[in-house]
Amino acid sequence: MAEWSSYSLSDLLLFSLQAYVGLFELLNTTLWPAHLIILVVGLGIGLFVLRPSDTKCRLVWGLLGLLWIWTGWYFFHVQYTVINWAAAYVAPVFWVQGLLFVLFAVAPRSPDIRFTRTATGRAAIVLYLFAVVGYPVATLALGRPLNSVEFVGISPDPGIVATLAILALSRGGFIWLAWIVPILWCVLTGLTLWMLDSPEFFIAPLAGVVAVAAVVAGGIWRHPT
């Protein structure tokens, strides 16, 4: 224990910002033009959320589950682990989170996704649109080369922001369980980018704060249906 306490956070960082950004360049090159399909699916989910039904809710949970399982496998297990062996330990966490969403999709009483014309609802929709459309623009504006910007479904951070937005609109028995990993990831990715001196370090943590603030303000956790 005494030995580990002598390490600073930056001592545990195995790679440079250049290598980290290079990882997204590789992902984008390899997976293009999947980005276009993901964009269409992402916007489609947004429409589902605006006019939800039980079937649409289940579909959204199922797609979110797939997103997390895919991210855990391709991003963490296949790609990120090449420069960060610790990513191999993160992948199962994403799989478990994905399975939780799949369970939401098939459970007899699936958590409800409900858009309301309230501050909470509007904040969640803005957050969702930011994740799907605004995130790559934001990373571009903060200095990322075009070929290495981050897209929902391709890299984890925008996907987690999209997840948080949907969770902010959701209510139901165990929905709180689904908040834990995305919030922890917002902290972890923020710390990682901060240690790498990346100007983007604040985006995911800020999205987490907005999502939590939206649900706290809306009192969703206090009045589950």
Q: Which residues bind another protein (CB under 8 A)?
A: 3, 6-7, 10-11, 13-16, 18-19, 22-23, 25-26, 79, 82-85
Q: How far is the CB of 4 from another protein (least distance, A)?
A: 10
Would you say 4 or 51 has its CB closer to another protein? Answer: 4
Q: Is 197 left (phi over 0), alpha (psi -120 to 50) or beta?
A: left
Would you say 88 or 177 has its CB closer to another protein? Answer: 88
Q: How far is the CB of 12 from another protein (least distance, A)?
A: 11
Would you say 26 or 103 has its CB closer to another protein? Answer: 26
Inter-residue contact 158 to 131 (CB < 8 Å): yes
d(C-alpha 15, C-alpha 134), whole Å: 27
Q: How far is the CB of 82 from another protein (least distance, A)?
A: 4
Which residues lie across from 170 on neighbouring strands? 113
Q: How far is the CB of 157 from another protein (least distance, A)?
A: 18
d(C-alpha 179, C-alpha 156), whole Å: 15
Q: How far is the CB of 16 from another protein (least distance, A)?
A: 6
Inter-residue contact 97 to 68 (CB < 8 Å): yes
Q: How far is the CB of 39 from another protein (least distance, A)?
A: 24
H/E run at residue 171? strand 170-171
Inter-residue contact 131 to 204 (CB < 8 Å): no
Would you say 28 or 110 has its CB closer to another protein? Answer: 28
d(C-alpha 161, C-alpha 168), whole Å: 11
Structure tokens that stand for 54 in this block = 């039980």
- For 71-138, the DSSP string reads IIIIIIIIIIHHH-TTHHHHHHHHHHHHHHHHHHHHSTTPPEE---SSHHHHHHHHHHHIIIIIHHHH
Would you say 22 or 52 has its CB closer to another protein? Answer: 22
Would you say 144 or 171 has its CB closer to another protein? Answer: 144
